[in-house]
């Protein structure tokens, strides 16, 4: 047995076959290449140069660079990564180093053991792609790359073979693993969070509504066609003009930026009092991760999902930031009265303005102070409605008195400009007001029936408080561009505005293709990426496990995996015995020796068996050693047709068995 172990170690240290190098370079390219979009340009160029250098060395059959030069290159590159990201820890820095190692390892790849390191690193590097994308194309690419990795492993140990044969064998191995993958997917106990701690920058790329609002913050978000959330209603979908999805509320203003009250997260306020004056709408929403606590409920929610609450400013909030795609169920009313009796501190907060700034806006508001609050709001809307204001994503930059410059000079702005200016005028005239950010509208996907709300639907509006009425929504954008509320942002903006192309699709076939693709992604998100503990309980209940816990799921997983292993074994083993000419030739040779009085034990390796034959049958020592060498090379080294033919000839070269005289 020690001889076999030593031979296995020697095979691992054996020089790498020249024909196996392209497979390993393809592995490095397939696993590291897609990360180019997330890496600094200098690192992508370094990785590409290292791979091209290795290809040139392989083509020219040149020696690999000395290890000391690679060590210096690694040290310099790692230091540059640390300088680029400010740390060597975290998602981006860690992925950058893995890609660097994958690119440089082939430059010191002398032996088969080095090649195994490249393949194992490739398997690990595949997982990191899900840090950046969990879409269907990413899953298909990783499946293809996994097949390539398995094929490279087969080429490394099986020697030169047709590419089609290697691909077929790799696909067969993955097909055999498919039952176990499905069983683990269905039955492995799910947790609500990751199994390990995520780095601090794991959620740095999440997009959504900002936690504060200044000119340009909403309009910049509108340039994205990404999906913010999807909603499915139990009944009829409300009219588009009524679809206001409430997010953060901003009631502090410093002259430039609107923010939420600093005391809102620290001092629990009274629960809001909502008086429904119309029917409730039940719906469920699938929210994309945005790393904030607000839930984007239809204005205004009356029933919330578990572990969430409604703040005094009518924001639906969770306990923790939303860092994974999640499903929530709500019930909302569109016609309501909220907080007809409001706390004095809240009203004072809704009247606060900076001590200085915007004198022209203050002067205009002072002219309205003698009017009733409702008439003041109407006067401000009349300014937007009748003056020469324009709705645009390209407003000019504003100075220190931003409200004055917008109202009296530029008169060009997006929803945040109009909401901000309206709330400023209301407060200056003595009417409590605040800014609300969220989304407005949405588009129904006819394929799956979900209402799709995109980042381009981001919107900001205002709320004013009136005695005996409570908080009322006022959307000054509707006074300037009513088509924005009734038909969507595409209808409100001129053709030259920089909206994402995905929401400007005019051809019916293109819209149909987009709807089908987004419906497929929605299914993928719900049943693959969104297979959380709740979804798992639903599926297992349908399969006959009404109240599954980790014990019953583990027992079921063990039993079913055992049955699957048995089925795969029964299917594979007879096929292997029938189709493996190497094993068949070796067994024939051993059977001939058994007739001559030397029986090979089941645990006995070919080299150890050859040594025992040399002791017991010296006349067969040379031939048996040759046959064992061929078999070991075919089974554990590089196989080829010539060696198989020589092993088969060893069987034919056995001397005839002598018959003993009686």
Residue 459 among the catalytic residues = yes
Asked if residues 361 and 403 have their Cβ atoms less than 8 Å apart, the reply is yes
What is d(CA 164, CA 183) in angstroms, rounded to the nearest whole number?
29
d(CA 121, CA 117): 6
* Active-site hit among 38, 475, 590, 630: 475
From the list 133, 330, 327, the residue with the least C-alpha distance to 230 is 327
- 290 in catalytic set: no
Phi, psi angles (nearest 5°) of residue 184: -65, -40
> Residue 348: what are its φ and ψ, rounded to 5°?
-65, -40
Question: Please, which residues have CB within 8 angstroms of residue 277's CB and are 6 or more apart in sequence?
Answer: 333, 335, 336, 337
Where b means 16+ CB within 10 Å and e means fewer, 4-21 reads eeebeeebeeeebbeebb
Q: Is 468 an annotated catalytic residue?
A: no
DSSP string, 114-154: HHHHHHHHHHHHHHGGGGT--SHHHHHHHHHHHHHHHHHHH
Q: Which residues pair with 444 in a beta bridge?
A: 451
Shortest CA distance to 325 belongs to which of 115, 529, 618, 147?
529
**Exposed, middle or buried by CB within 10 Å (0-12, 13-18, 19+), for 569?**
exposed
Helices and strands (H and E) in the chain: how many: 24, 20
C-beta separation of 476 from 381 below 8 A: yes
User: Residues 354, 254: contact at Cβ < 8 Å?
Assistant: yes
Contact call for residues 310 and 351 (beta carbons, < 8 A): no
Contact predicate 286/527, CB 8 Å:
no
**Separation of alpha carbons 117 and 127, rounded Å:** 16
| Given the residues 146, 415, 590, 650, the one annotated as active site | 415
Which one is catalytic: 251, 459, 630, 650?
459
211 SS3 class: coil
Pair of tokens at residue 231: 């909603």
The residues carrying an active-site annotation are 415, 459, 475
């Amino acid at each position: 047995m020690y001889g076999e172990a030593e031979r296995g170690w020697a095979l691992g240290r054996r020089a790498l076959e020249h024909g196996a190098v392209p497979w390993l370079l393809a592995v490095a390219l397939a696993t590291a290449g897609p990360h180019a979009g997330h890496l600094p340009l200098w690192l992508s160029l370094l990785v590409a140069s290292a791979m091209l250098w290795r290809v040139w060395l392989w083509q020219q059959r040149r020696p690999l660079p000395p290890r000391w030069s690679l060590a210096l290159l690694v040290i310099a590159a790692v230091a540059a990564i640390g300088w680029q990201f400010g740390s060597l820890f975290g998602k981006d820095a860690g992925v950058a180093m893995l890609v660097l190692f994958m690119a440089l390892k082939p430059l010191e790849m002398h032996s088969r053991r080095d090649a195994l390191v490249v393949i194992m690193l490739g398997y690990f590097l595949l997982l990191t792609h899900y840090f950046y994308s969990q879409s269907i194309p990413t899953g298909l690419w990783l499946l293809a790359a996994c097949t390539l990795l398995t094929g490279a492993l087969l080429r490394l140990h099986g020697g030169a073979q047709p590419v089609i044969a290697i691909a077929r064998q790799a696909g067969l191995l993955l097909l055999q693993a498919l039952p176990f993958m499905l069983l683990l997917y269905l039955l492995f106990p799910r947790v609500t969070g990751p199994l390990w701690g995520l780095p601090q920058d794991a959620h740095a790329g999440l997009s959504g509504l900002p936690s504060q609002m200044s000119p340009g913050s909403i309009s910049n978000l509108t340039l994205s066609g990404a999906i913010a959330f999807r909603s499915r209603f139990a009944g009829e979908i409300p009219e588009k003009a009524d679809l206001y999805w409430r997010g953060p509320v901003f009631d502090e203003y410093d002259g430039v930026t609107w923010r939420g009250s600093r005391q809102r997260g620290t001092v629990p306020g009274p629960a809001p009092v909502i008086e429904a004056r119309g029917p409730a709408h039940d719906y469920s929403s699938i929210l994309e991760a945005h790393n904030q606590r607000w839930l984007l409920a239809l204005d205004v929610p009356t029933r919330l999902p578990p572990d969430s609450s409604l703040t005094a400013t009518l924001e639906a909030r969770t306990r923790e930031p939303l860092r994974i795609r999640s499903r929530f169920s709500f019930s909302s009313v569109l016609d309501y009265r909220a907080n007809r009796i409001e706390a004095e501190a809240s009203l004072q907060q809704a009247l606060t303005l900076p001590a200085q700034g915007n004198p022209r806006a203050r002067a205009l508001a002072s002219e309205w102070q003698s009017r009733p609050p409702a008439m003041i709001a109407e006067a401000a809307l009349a300014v937007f409605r009748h003056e020469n204001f324009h709705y645009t994503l390209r407003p000019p930059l504003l100075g220190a008195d931003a409200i004055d410059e917008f109202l009296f000079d530029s008169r060009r702005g997006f929803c945040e400009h109009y909401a901000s200016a309206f709330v400023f005028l209301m407060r200056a005239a003595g009417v409590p007001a605040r800014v609300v950010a969220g989304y407005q509208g949405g588009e129904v996907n006819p394929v799956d029936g979900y209402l799709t709300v995109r980042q381009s639907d981001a919107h900001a509006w205002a709320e004013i408080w009136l005695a005996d009425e409570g908080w009322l929504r006022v959307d000054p954008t509707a006074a300037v561009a009513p088509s924005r509320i009734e038909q969507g942002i595409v209808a409100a903006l001129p053709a030259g505005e920089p909206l994402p192309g995905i929401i400007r699709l005019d051809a019916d076939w293109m819209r149909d293709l987009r709807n089908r693709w987004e419906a497929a992604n929605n299914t993928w998100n719900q049943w693959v990426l969104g297979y959380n503990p709740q979804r798992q309980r639903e599926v297992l209940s349908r399969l006959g496990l009404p109240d599954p816990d980790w014990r019953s799921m583990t027992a079921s997983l063990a039993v079913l995996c055992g049955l699957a292993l048995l089925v795969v074994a029964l299917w594979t083993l007879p096929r292997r015995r029938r189709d493996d000419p190497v094993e068949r030739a070796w067994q024939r040779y051993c059977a001939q020796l058994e007739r001559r009085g030397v029986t090979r034990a089941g645990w006995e390796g070919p080299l150890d068996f050859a040594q025992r034959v040399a002791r017991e049958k010296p006349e067969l020592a040379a031939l048996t050693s040759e046959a064992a060498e061929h078999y070991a090379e075919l089974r554990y080294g590089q196989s080829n047709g010539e060696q198989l033919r020589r092993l088969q000839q060893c069987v034919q070269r056995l001397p005839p068995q002598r018959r003993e005289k009686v």
